Amino acid sequence: MTGLVARIVDSVAAIPAAAWDACLPGEAEDHSYYRACDEAAAASGTGLRCAAVAIADAQGIAAVAPFFRLDYRLDTPLQGRLRGVADAVYRYVPRLLTLRIICIGSPYADRCHLGFAPWLDGPRRETAMRAIVDALRRQAAAEGAQLVAFKDLAPADDALVAPCLSREGFARIGSLPVAILDLPYADEDGYLASLSAATRKDIRRKLARAQAVRIEHRSDITGLEELIAELYESTRRRSGLDYGELEVLPPGYFAAVSRALGERAVFALYWIGDELAAFNLLLIEPGRVIDKFLGMRYPLAREHNLYAVSWMANVRFCLSRGIVSLQSGQTAYASKLRFGSRLVPTRLHVLHRSKLLQWGLRRIASTVSFDRFDPDLARLPAAR
C-alpha cells in the first residue's frame, strides 16, 4: 500500500467536488447529487446517510466511493409468500435475520459509484482497491459490523474489480438488473416500428385515450415538493415489493435534488385538469437519461394510462435531444421489456468478518441472489 493513504469521512461533502467528479466523470449522480441526498437525510433525521472513503496518493485523491451503514435483514431478497414467512420469524427472533453491514454504494443509486483517478494504471488501481477493502475492514471491526459489501456493480466496474475482490475473499452475488432502452432512432415512429405489432397497437390506443393529460417539464418544483413525495410514497407502497430501507427516500429528497442539480434534474409532471396525477424524475447526462423515480395517483393514473403516456413522453424527451439511452431502473421488468428495454446485470460482492461464515456464504451465493426472487424476473426466465 506504499504511497496510498485511506481516509473515511462522514459525508461525501468532505471530499472536494472536483476530485470526486474527476474520478467519476460525466455522471448525473455526481458529488452534488450525493451531497443533496445527505443533506435531505440529515435535515429530516431519517434515511441512510452516505459516508465516503477516499484514497490519496502523491498526486491527490486517487479513488473514491460512497458507503452507508445498514442493519440488513438477510431475508431482504425474498418477496411474496416467502417474505411473509420470514417476517413471522423476524417478529420473534430479529437478531437471527439481521446483520450490521457497511456497504459501498448508495441506497439512492442503481450503480455502485466506485471511481478511480485517470492517472492510475491497472496495478495501481488494484492497489487502491485493496486499500479501500482494508479501510472498510478496519471500519467494520471498529463499528461491530459483520459484513462488508459492494452494492450493484455495473458490468464494466465488476469486470475491473471482481478479480481483486475474489482474491480478498468476497462472495459474488447477483443483484437486480437495470433496464436500459437503446434509442438509435431518428424519431418516435422509428422507435415504435422496433416493437411488436401488438405492443405498438396497444401504445397507440392508450395514447389516443389520454387526450386529457397535460405534460409539463420543469426543474424548479417549488410548491410541489410535498405532492411529489406523496405520489412517490403511495406508488412505492402499492408495488408489492419490499426491499426495506433500501427503497425509502428521506423527506426532502426531491426538493434537495432539484436545488442541487438544477437543469440536470427534470421533473416530468402529468396533470389531469388541476390535479397532479403522476411525475417522473429524470436525471440528464449528455448521452443518457436516468428515469429515476415514478409516482402515480391511483385510480386516476390507470384511468388515463399514465404509465404508457409517461414512457412515451420520456422516449420523445430523449429523441428530441439526441439522447440514445434511457435507463429506467430495477423494477417493473415485464413492461420495460415489452417496450423494448434490455436488462443489464449488476453484482454484489459480500465479505463476512467470520472466515467460517464467509466460507458458507460463498457456497450459497448463487441461491440467494436478488434476481432469483423478483416476481417479474421469476415469470421471465429468459430475461433472468
Residues 22-43 have pLDDT tens digits of: 999 999 999 999 999 999 988 8
Q: What integer pLDDT is reported at residue 236 of this predicted model?
A: 86
Is the same domain home to 168 and 317?
no
Residue 193 C-alpha from the chain's centroid: 30
Is the same domain home to 311 and 367?
no
Is the same domain home to 84 and 224?
no
75 DSSP β-pair partners: none
Is the same domain home to 190 and 102?
no
Is the same domain home to 104 and 122?
yes
Q: Which of 41, 44, 146 is nearest to 103 (CA)?
A: 146
Give the domain CATH number at 338. Answer: 3.40.630.30
Residues 223-281 have pLDDT tens digits of: 999 999 999 998 988 765 555 566 789 989 999 999 999 999 999 999 999 999 999 99
What confidence tier does 80 reach under pLDDT thresholds 50, 70, 90? low
Residues 94-129 have pLDDT tens digits of: 454 578 899 999 999 999 999 999 999 989 999 999
Residue 384 counted as domain residue: no
Is the same domain home to 173 and 192?
no
- Report the amino acid identity of residue 373: F
Q: Provide the domain count of the chain.
A: 2
Q: How far is CA 98 from CA 28, 70, 138, in A?
A: 33, 10, 21
pLDDT greater than 80 at residue 1 = no
Domain, as residue range, for 94: 5-177+346-379
What is the value of pTM for the model shown? 0.88
C-alpha to C-alpha distance for 320 and 273, rounded to whole angstroms = 26
Is the same domain home to 365 and 351?
yes
The residue assigned the cell 441512510 is: 48
What confidence tier does 134 reach under pLDDT thresholds 50, 70, 90? very high
Is the same domain home to 327 and 359?
no
Is the same domain home to 133 and 30?
yes
Is the same domain home to 58 and 99?
yes
Is the same domain home to 167 and 185?
no
What confidence tier does 358 reach under pLDDT thresholds 50, 70, 90? confident
Residue 91 C-alpha from the chain's centroid: 29
Residue 163 counted as domain residue: yes
